Structure 1
Amino acid sequence: MKMKRIVGKINGFMSVSIALLIWYGMGKIHNGELSIGVLYAFTTYIKQFFEPIGDLSEDYGTIQSALVSADRIFEIVDQKENVEDLDAGRHIERFHGSVEFKHVWFAYKGEEWILKDISFKINDGDMCAFVGETGAGKSTIISLISGFYKVQRGEILIDGVNIDDICRRDLRTNVSVVLQDVFLFSGTVRDNIVLNDEIDEETLNNSIEISQVKNIISNFKDGIYEKVVEGGNTFSAGQKQLISFARAIAHDPSIFVLDEATATETEILIQKAIKSITDNVTTIVIAHRLSTIKDADKIIVLKDGGIIEQGSHKELMKRQGYYSSLVMTVQ
């Protein structure tokens, strides 16, 4: 701001200088002592003299931005190495799939709690759904189950073992998450399902069958070998979700998570896929469309970072509480 004020004063001084020069020069021209060409040359010289000062304001902003960027770069360079050791901890090749939160408190920053004293248990093989408004903490719970963050208070148990003690590689191998915004890599549909892992054809075909991807690839010219551009921009949101669904099933997880992955166009197909997979693995669903979770073994209702209700669809409807009001609102 100071630089702008200084440049403004200099520009004002330049204008005054040119005005005085023209006033003085016109008198000289009138007396025949000065030509118009010489007066024009002098005004041009004055502008050229002050022009670099005017450019300085723009350069000053660029320099300030560069200094801020340099500070950020140096912060990264000065950071101590903090690479996560994926193989540290207890090795568990295959989970049974039970998940338990015991008085969990979590905040991304300080004590701005996102989750407050959260306690629940999902038995292995059960389907559990989380319901709540945006910001209630649903996605945060998924991030904690995936081991992306550590809780400040309480503990998270998988098969009775504290999640912090489990090898991260085993944890992420056993937990598959289907996000709402799916990223597809360049290649083919098949490549995006197997992800360069050694997956046999029987497993691949089974994942395509269960995920209902067969219903979309049947419309492709090259079927499962249909070309995919970076980001999957030639596919609809629903198609990308189903492909991501098949990707997760093909890698045979113990815990399957659907994070708001219910696009309207594929909602019926995803419901069929959920019913097919829930008999074998623990399934956790987060969705705003309550029609996708009516068959869940347990529904946990979150509000302001805490649990206000939990039970089956029938149990919660009988209570006529917050969940019941949500269902009545969307009907």
Structure 2
Amino acid sequence: MTTASGSHAVLLRACAEAGLSAAGAELIRLGENALWRLPEGVVARVARTGQWPAAVQEIAIARWLHESGLPVVRPLEAFSVPVLVGDRPVTFWHELPPHRPGTGADMAPLLRRLHDLPVPEHIDLGLLDPLVRIAERIDEAVTLDDRQRGWLRGHLADLQTAWDELPPGQPLCVVHGDAWGGNTAVTPSTTYLLDFERSSRGRREYDLVTMAAGFTSFGSVTAQQYEAICAAYGADVTEWPGYQVLRDVRELRVTCFALQLAAADPARHRDQAHYRLACIQGREGPRPWGWMVI
């Protein structure tokens, strides 16, 4: 997990190399990546170590989507590749107008438009890896004991096998890869799609399961909200025979994300992370469980 001070130091070096001002840089969001607001309507994204290929691809995908007519956040035209500081890529984007975070129903119609686009031949998207970095997060989860870690490793192996044996679905397409409502920004006139770090070629059902699991597993999406999502997209992924596997993958991903946060700040996140683990182990009753947002 990146830190504010560490990402700010990277930001200053990247701006100096790019010829951009970092005066009064304002931290917008800090997570695995850090977003900084700069003067002149520019936003800088400081990525994690070793994310150069993903950052290069994110710029290419955002430009392709803009050229395809989708309303998306746009990289600055002057930068076709990220600025590299050490082993951390920094990308620069046009700041969006004042907006609110989106909902699943805001994102669903944009996902439909994305999924209906032809796969671009000029971008090497690669195939979706739904379990990327999960093994590392399990290994680095210092709040786990050996029994818990062993169970998670076995569950991960089972889900990899189940993913490889999924029944046929819709044809492969460009998927967003992290399709939750917060990756949209809603202005009075336009809803923008954001964050293409995990975009790739894969099953469109994977994009849809994020919002569906909010309803069936996490209790963060009401029945009425989920109906609106399905109506906006035009399909209900929970009716697909492979839904349970995708649901379980999503549950594992967000559990391991919480465990990563708990490793960095046990006082704040350990209880929620271990509650999530107990849920997916079947020790907290039936779904939906009611997970706290972290």
What interval of TM-score do these two structures reach, taking the shorter chain for normalisation?
A: under 0.3
* TM-score, normalisation: structure 1: 0.21
* TM-score, normalisation: structure 2: 0.22
Higher relative contact order (CA 8 A, sep 6+): 1
Larger radius of gyration: 1
Q: Which has the higher strand share?
A: 1
